[in-house]
Amino acid sequence: MLGRKIDVLNRGQIPIYEPGLAELVARNVAEGRLHFTTDLAAAAKQSRLVFLGVGTPPGKDGKADLSALWGVVDQLAPHLRDDAIVICKSTVPVGTNAKTAARLKELTGRDIDVASNPEFLKEGVAIDDFMKPDRVVVGARRQEVIDVLQELYQPYLRTDKPFLAMSPESAEMTKYAANSLLSTKISFINEIANLCEHAGADINDIRRGIGHDSRIGFAFLFPGAGYGGSCFPKDVRALAALAREYGVEPRMLNAVHTVNENQKTVLIQKIERHFAGKLSDKAIAIWGLAFKPGTDDIREAPALVLIDRLLAAKATVRVFDPEAMQNVRAIYGDRLVYCQRRDDALRGVDALAICTEWKQFVHPDFEEMRHVMRQPIIFDGRNLYNPQRMRVAGFTYYSIGRPDVK
């Protein structure tokens, strides 16, 4: 598996979709600064700094599964140089740095420096985030290690952005706190949006009404069909699991997760309500499968919950996503109709559901859409359109936290 990925990279291809990454990798390979290998011993011998970026997916009870991390630590240990610094970029529970150092001591008999350097980039704009970070956080126990990493990151921190040195435990906790707070903002605005639907208020007005308060701001306060991806869901659960291990009840984190699980079902609830629960003779189009625009990542994507529920109700499901189709096909095989173009997905459908706010969904030709759809009904999980305009365009239009248009 790993060997196959490395072969792909060595052929100059990138196994994931991330804007700009292929060009960046190709340039650095061509100029001899970057190469890929499965020869851990040779790579470790040449390297003072060894970064670990393996996956830490949710395991049992939401705890982070660290098996890939321990696998790589064990493989690496015999090959590490005396002056090596092992730097953990994976998001890991508090205490993992200390356990890594202890494991390396056990395996090598040496005190190998281990630093914690959480990654804050966003998929879809990963390169920009990496090159222009808001801050770099490094947790280490020795000043020399901090100095080496500060020198490494200095070219990316030439403006006023800070390099924040702290203990490894604080660095590990910082990453979980950041993702948990961002998830909290999303679940909060989703809960208010759901309330707006009952109260006859419009979440877009509320969003603006609170966002202009400089203490609140606008970021991560867009309502939608729930957050997904490889980080927020797993990190909220992992921090909650960590709290429980300490005997602390993670009330906020539990609520953030529960609200989000429910939010992933709001589109199917609206669809079922509209069609009075009878979907077996309905065809539904889905635009957007990736958990957010700019990526082909479908891990924990809200679209998957919708697909599962539609298939369980025996609906025909026609899907389109600019990048994530292959990943979805790998899960659902021939149970879905895969459409190569956005508008092909609409042919003969009783409704369109929108799960990801890709730019190409923002200004469709509504006139044309009404012609190809069997019924002009849209369930918009990302609030892309103006409800009044949808009324004029002749659509029945459901969105999140705003008045329905029928």
Active-site residue list? 231
Nearer to ligand NAD, 227 or 320 (CB): 227
> Is 95 one of the binding residues for ligand NAD (CB under 6 A)?
no
Of 58, 77, 91, 292, which one interacts with ligand NAD (CB under 6 A)? 91
Contacts of 82 (CB under 8 A, 6+ apart): 110
Hey, what are 252's tokens?
């906020």
Q: How far is the CB of 21 from ligand NAD (least distance, A)?
A: 12
Q: Could you count the other beta carbons within 10 Å of the beta carbon of residue 194? A: 18
Q: How far is the CB of 141 from ligand NAD (least distance, A)?
A: 21
Q: How far is the CB of 190 from ligand NAD (least distance, A)?
A: 21
Which letter does DSSP use for residue 155 in this model? G
Q: How far is the CB of 289 from ligand NAD (least distance, A)?
A: 17
- Tell me the residue nearest to ligand NAD as measured from the CB: 55
Nearer to ligand NAD, 120 or 366 (CB): 120
**Helix 232-245 vs helix 251-263: angle between axes, to the nearest 10 degrees?**
150
CB 87 within 8 A of CB 149: yes
Nearer to ligand NAD, 152 or 311 (CB): 152
Angle at 95 between CA 89 and CA 100, to 5 degrees: 65
Q: How far is the CB of 152 from ligand NAD (least distance, A)?
A: 18
Of 10, 13, 22, 71, which one interacts with ligand NAD (CB under 6 A)? 71
Hey, what are 4's tokens?
């196959």
> Is 263 one of the binding residues for ligand NAD (CB under 6 A)?
no
> Is 56 one of the binding residues for ligand NAD (CB under 6 A)?
yes
Q: Kindly determine how many residues on this chain lie close enough to bind ligand NAD according to the rule CB under 6 A.
A: 16
Contacts of 385 (CB under 8 A, 6+ apart): 378, 397, 399
Q: Cα 139 to the chain's mean position, in Å?
A: 24
Please tell me the distance from the alpha carbon of residue 253 to that of residue 256, in angstroms, as a whole number. 5
Angle at 120 between CA 116 and CA 124, to 5 degrees: 140
DSSP string for residues in 117-153: ------TTSHHHHHHS-S-EEEE-SSHHHHHHHHHHH
Q: Could you count the other beta carbons within 10 Å of the beta carbon of residue 392? A: 10
Nearer to ligand NAD, 256 or 286 (CB): 256
Of 68, 98, 201, 243, which one interacts with ligand NAD (CB under 6 A)? 68
> Is 219 one of the binding residues for ligand NAD (CB under 6 A)?
no
Of 149, 231, 305, 355, which one interacts with ligand NAD (CB under 6 A)? 231
Which letter does DSSP use for residue 318 in this model? E
Nearer to ligand NAD, 123 or 321 (CB): 123
CB 311 within 8 A of CB 317: yes
Q: How far is the CB of 238 from ligand NAD (least distance, A)?
A: 9
Nearer to ligand NAD, 243 or 311 (CB): 243
> Is 123 one of the binding residues for ligand NAD (CB under 6 A)?
yes
> Which residues of this chain interact with ligand NAD, rule CB under 6 A?
2, 5, 53-56, 68, 71-72, 90-91, 119, 121, 123, 230-231
